[in-house]
């Protein structure tokens, strides 16, 4: 055992420097059977945990008080973080069976795999704090964005510190010589800040590059990529910056830093090409869809219905028959994706186009159904019609119900209580269109009111003091 330990220590020392030390002995890595089994089962458990959480769109993490539930984008990112953890666990098992002298490569993979996992876990937690629940409606605002960024940095810093501590404990005295060979410089810290800031700016702009395919979002994402590349170059050049003048002059004559560390530049160029290719393809596709919808809208009849003409529980067949008889072209389908639902239990959707609603050019009018029938109606308007849409909302029959949080762009969501449901609307600056959402009063009673989650004075209008419903008018 002493000989093996001595061989492993010499092997570690041989890989600390740029070149292996002459005369260093090599002993293949050995991992006990119990550790191999634990790591293998742990990796399978992490993969299954993340996969099941993504499939049901509810990734549950134990917390100090209760549990933390992740949905949508946060769940996907946390599942990838778990996959990184599983890969780190498995790498140790693979290292046991690999008899070649490449333990250093496995250690680097484990170290950086764990760091990536921590950063992704921090990003998932940051998105949760920021209120970004894509593809569902978000509750995003400036202060929540700051909290999300701080949460991401905090969790990522904990991960990096933890992995660095483990690495130092493993190397022991060798860590001191490694630290002297590569000191932490101000250039490295500044480069890391640039990488983090650029990546954050690019990620924040990506949703609006995909839809509604904004040119400004593509420019913002491109700027973020460029900033991240600059930061990566600064971080990679930290050794050259810390070198003595004579060593620096010799290194520059042999190989300029930008040439030696050009991998970030190559990755950045590929990302920029991919970004603008996606923007161009989505822009042309969306232009074609919008042109087709506008042609159909011009030929469609005007919308003569009131929202109180609909009531929760109406069947899809009844609504489709009534609207088709009035000249509207109805499309209905089931097997909904997560981004096609208002609630996770929505089962079917119907949508149509109308020439106008009370003189306002409209976009899609969508009906959402559950097992009990109609639940929601969503009406989309173009952003340039916001003043008219706001006046239409204020003329909606019923009483004001106050504010219901904020949308993804930080705008207030206002509500008005009608006879058969609640109408919600916001300016929705970060969404493709202005969305007005009608919710059936029966569904509100079944969810918000029944759970008691909204037992506040404002919700008394919806949970206690709502007059008995009247039958919707037949059209």
CB contact set of 177 (below 8 Å; sequence gap of 6+): 16
**Phi–psi pair at 27, nearest 5 degrees:** -125, 120
Q: At 373, is the secondary structure helix, strand, or coil?
A: strand
Q: At 334, is the secondary structure helix, strand, or coil?
A: strand
Task: Report in angstroms the alpha-carbon separations of 246 from 17, 183, 250, 251.
Answer: 20, 18, 6, 9
Task: Answer yes or no: are the C-beta atoms of 429 and 379 closer than 8 Å.
Answer: no
User: Pairing mode, if any, of strands 59-62 and 412-417?
Assistant: unpaired
DSSP string, 407-473: -TTSPEEEEEE-SSEEEEE---TTSSSEEEEEEEHHHHIIIIIHHTTT-SSTTHHHHTSPPPP-PPP
pLDDT at 165: 66
Counting as low any pLDDT under 50, the low residues of the chain are 1-24, 178, 181, 244, 247-259, 473-475
pLDDT at 167: 64
pLDDT digits (tens, 9 = 90+) for 367-416: 999 999 999 999 999 888 999 999 999 998 888 888 888 876 678 899 99
Task: Answer yes or no: are the C-beta atoms of 448 and 464 closer than 8 Å.
Answer: no
Strand partners, 406: 412
CB contact set of 463 (below 8 Å; sequence gap of 6+): 444, 445, 448, 449, 454, 455
- Greatest Cα pair distance, the chain, in angstroms, is 93
Rounded Cα distance between 428 and 208, Å, is: 13
pLDDT at 15: 36
User: What is the DSSP-derived secondary structure letter of residue 302?
Assistant: P
Structure tokens at 151: 């949460």
Nearest in space to 438 (alpha carbons), one of 464, 408, 472, 410: 472
104 CB-side CA count, 13 A: 14
SS (H, E, C) 5-23: HHHHHHHHHHHHCCCCCCC
**Phi–psi pair at 291, nearest 5 degrees:** -65, -40
């Amino acid at each position: 055992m002493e000989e093996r330990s001595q061989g492993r220590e010499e092997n570690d020392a041989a890989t600390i420097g740029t070149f292996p030390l002459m005369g260093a002995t090599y002993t293949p890595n050995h991992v006990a059977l119990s550790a191999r089994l634990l790591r293998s089962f742990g990796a399978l458990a992490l993969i299954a945990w993340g996969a099941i959480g993504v499939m049901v769109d509810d990734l549950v993490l134990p917390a100090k008080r209760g549990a933390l539930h992740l949905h949508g984008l946060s769940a996907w990112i946390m599942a990838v973080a778990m996959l990184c953890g599983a890969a780190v666990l498995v790498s140790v098992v693979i290292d046991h069976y690999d008899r070649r002298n490449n333990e250093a490569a496995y250690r680097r993979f484990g170290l950086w795999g764990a760091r990536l996992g921590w950063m992704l876990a921090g990003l998932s937690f940051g998105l949760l704090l920021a209120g970004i629940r894509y593809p569902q409606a978000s509750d995003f605002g400036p202060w929540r964005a700051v909290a999300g960024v701080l949460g991401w940095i905090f969790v990522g810093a904990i991960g990096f510190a933890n992995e660095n501590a483990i690495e130092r404990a493993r190397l022991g005295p060798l860590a001191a010589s490694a630290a002297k060979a590569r000191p932490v410089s101000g250039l490295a810290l500044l480069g890391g800040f640039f990488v983090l800031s650029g990546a954050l700016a690019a990620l924040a702009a990506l949703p609006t590059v995909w839809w509604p395919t904004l040119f400004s979002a593509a420019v913002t994402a491109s700027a973020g990529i460029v900033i991240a590349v600059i930061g990566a170059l600064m971080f990679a050049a930290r050794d050259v910056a810390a070198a003595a003048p004579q060593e620096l002059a010799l290194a520059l004559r042999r190989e300029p830093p930008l040439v030696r560390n050009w991998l970030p530049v190559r990755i950045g160029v590929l990302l920029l090409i991919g970004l603008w290719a996606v923007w161009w393809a989505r822009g042309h596709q969306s232009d074609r869809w919008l042109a087709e919808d506008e042609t159909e809208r011009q030929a469609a009849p005007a919308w003569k219905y009131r929202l109180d003409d609909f009531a929760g529980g109406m069947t899809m067949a009844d609504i489709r028959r009534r609207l088709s008889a009035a000249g509207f072209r109805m499309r209905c389908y089931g097997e909904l994706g997560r981004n096609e639902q208002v609630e996770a239990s929505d089962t079917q959707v119907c949508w149509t186009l109308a020439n106008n609603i009370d003189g306002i050019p409209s976009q899609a009018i969508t009906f959402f159904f559950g097992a009990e029938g109609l639940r929601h109606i969503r009406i989309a308007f173009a952003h340039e019609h916001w003043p008219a849409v706001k006046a239409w909302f204020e003329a909606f029959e019923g009483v004001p119900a106050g504010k219901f949080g904020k949308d993804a762009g930080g705008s207030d969501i206002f509500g008005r209580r009608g006879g058969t449901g609640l109408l919600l609307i916001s300016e929705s600056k970060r969404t493709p269109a202005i969305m007005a959402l009608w919710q059936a009063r029966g569904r509100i009673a079944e969810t918000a009111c029944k759970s008691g989650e909204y037992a506040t004075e404002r919700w008394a209008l919806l949970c206690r003091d709502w007059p008995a419903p009247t039958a919707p008018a037949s059209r």
